[in-house]
Amino acid sequence: MSTISYLTRIEFGEGQVSRLQEFLDALGVKRPLICTDRGLVATGMVARINALLASPAAIFDATPANPTEDAVLSAHALYREMNCDGVIGLGGGSALDLAKGVRLLSGHEAPLSQYTLVSGGLSRIHGRICPMIAIPTTSGTGSEVGRAAVIITAEGRKLGIISPHMLPSIALCDPELTYGLPPGLTAATGMDAISHCLETYMAPAFNPPADAIALDGLARGLRAIEVAVQDGSDKAARRDMMVCALEGAMAFQKGLGAVHALTHPLGAIRQLNLHHGTLNAVLTPAVLRFNRPAIGDKWDRLETFFGEAPDVAVAKLNRRLGMPTGLAAMGVTDEMMQHVAQDAMKDHCHATNPRTPTPADYLAMLQDSA
Length of the chain: 370
244 and 353 share one domain: yes
204 and 140 share one domain: no
Q: Is 125 helix (H, G, I), strand (E, B) or coil?
A: coil
Pick from 252, 231, 273, 210: nearest CA to 353: 252
Q: Decide if 3 is inside a domain.
A: no
Pick from 101, 81, 169: nearest CA to 131: 169
pTM > 0.75: yes or no: yes
Q: Decide if 316 is inside a domain.
A: yes
93 and 59 share one domain: yes
150 and 263 share one domain: no
193 and 247 share one domain: yes
Q: Decide if 70 is inside a domain.
A: yes
- Other beta carbons within 10 angstroms of residue 169's beta carbon come to 20
Q: Decide if 90 is inside a domain.
A: yes
pLDDT score of 7: 64
Boundary-marking domain end, from 154, 177, 200: 177
193 and 238 share one domain: yes
Type of residue found at 259: V
Boundary-marking domain end, from 132, 150, 177: 177
35 and 131 share one domain: yes
Q: Decide if 270 is inside a domain.
A: yes
- Asked whether 72 and 105 are in contact (CB, 8 A), the reply is yes
- Asked whether 332 and 289 are in contact (CB, 8 A), the reply is no
- Asked whether 141 and 93 are in contact (CB, 8 A), the reply is yes
pLDDT score of 180: 85
Q: CA triplet 118, 285, 223: central angle to 5 degrees?
A: 105
Type of residue found at 34: I
Domain enclosing residue 321, as ranges: 181-368
Query: In CATH, what number is assigned to the domain containing residue 335?
Result: 1.20.1090.10
105 and 139 share one domain: yes
Q: Decide if 1 is inside a domain.
A: no
Q: What is the pLDDT along the chain (370 residues), one digit of tens a residue?
A: 444 546 678 999 999 999 999 999 999 999 999 999 999 999 999 999 999 999 999 999 999 988 999 999 999 999 999 999 999 999 999 999 999 999 999 999 999 999 999 999 999 999 999 999 999 999 999 999 999 999 999 998 988 999 999 999 999 999 999 998 999 999 999 999 999 999 999 999 999 999 999 999 999 999 999 999 999 999 999 999 999 999 999 998 899 999 999 999 999 998 998 999 999 999 999 999 999 999 999 999 999 989 999 999 999 999 999 999 999 999 999 999 999 999 999 999 999 999 999 999 999 999 999 9
Query: In CATH, what number is assigned to the domain containing residue 57?
Result: 3.40.50.1970
Boundary-marking domain end, from 124, 145, 177: 177
Tally of domains in the chain: 2
Q: Decide if 112 is inside a domain.
A: yes
320 and 342 share one domain: yes
Q: Decide if 4 is inside a domain.
A: no
171 and 311 share one domain: no
72 and 157 share one domain: yes
Q: Which residues of 235-245 are buried (b: 16+ CB within 10 A; e: fewer)?
A: eebbbbbbbbb
114 and 242 share one domain: no
